[in-house]
Amino acid sequence: MDARPSTAPQSAADIAIRICVVVLTLITAFVHLSLLFPDPVFILNGLGYLTLLAALYLPIARLVPHLRPVRLTLIGYATLTILLWVAIGERSLLGYSTTADEVALVILLLLEVGECDPVATAFRPA
């Protein structure tokens, strides 16, 4: 069984979005893993980001049919993290910058969902 999601060539924009998603997720995971170490809440948050990133982009054959739900889960995870920071987070430069990182991550993932959605791509102008 082929573990690649698609054999269709990807545009430069698709590749750039994917690279940005990986970088933003790694930055967010690193901040949460290193923040207030050894607080288990932050460690679990960072590990959650890494797990969802791996599930989204590693060529794991069993996950290929489930890439859309994984992507939507990562969107929800980042959104929940943002909302929790708004509710109880520390207002610092690191807090604001990490939240901006997560907002950018959500936006890029939403763009990726649109690219992967067959209904959205069917109605896109040529």
Structure tokens at 117: 């959605």
Q: Check: CB of residue 75 under 8 Å from CB of residue 113.
A: yes
pTM for the full predicted model: 0.83
The stretch 87-103 carries a mean pLDDT of 95
Which pLDDT band, with edges at 50, 70 and 90, does 20 fall under? very high
Q: How far apart are CA 2 and CA 29, in angstroms?
A: 29
pLDDT averaged over every residue in the chain: 87
51: nearest Cα among 60, 10, 101: 60
Q: How far apart are CA 37 and CA 47, in angstroms?
A: 13
Q: What are phi and psi of 95, to 5 degrees?
A: -65, -45
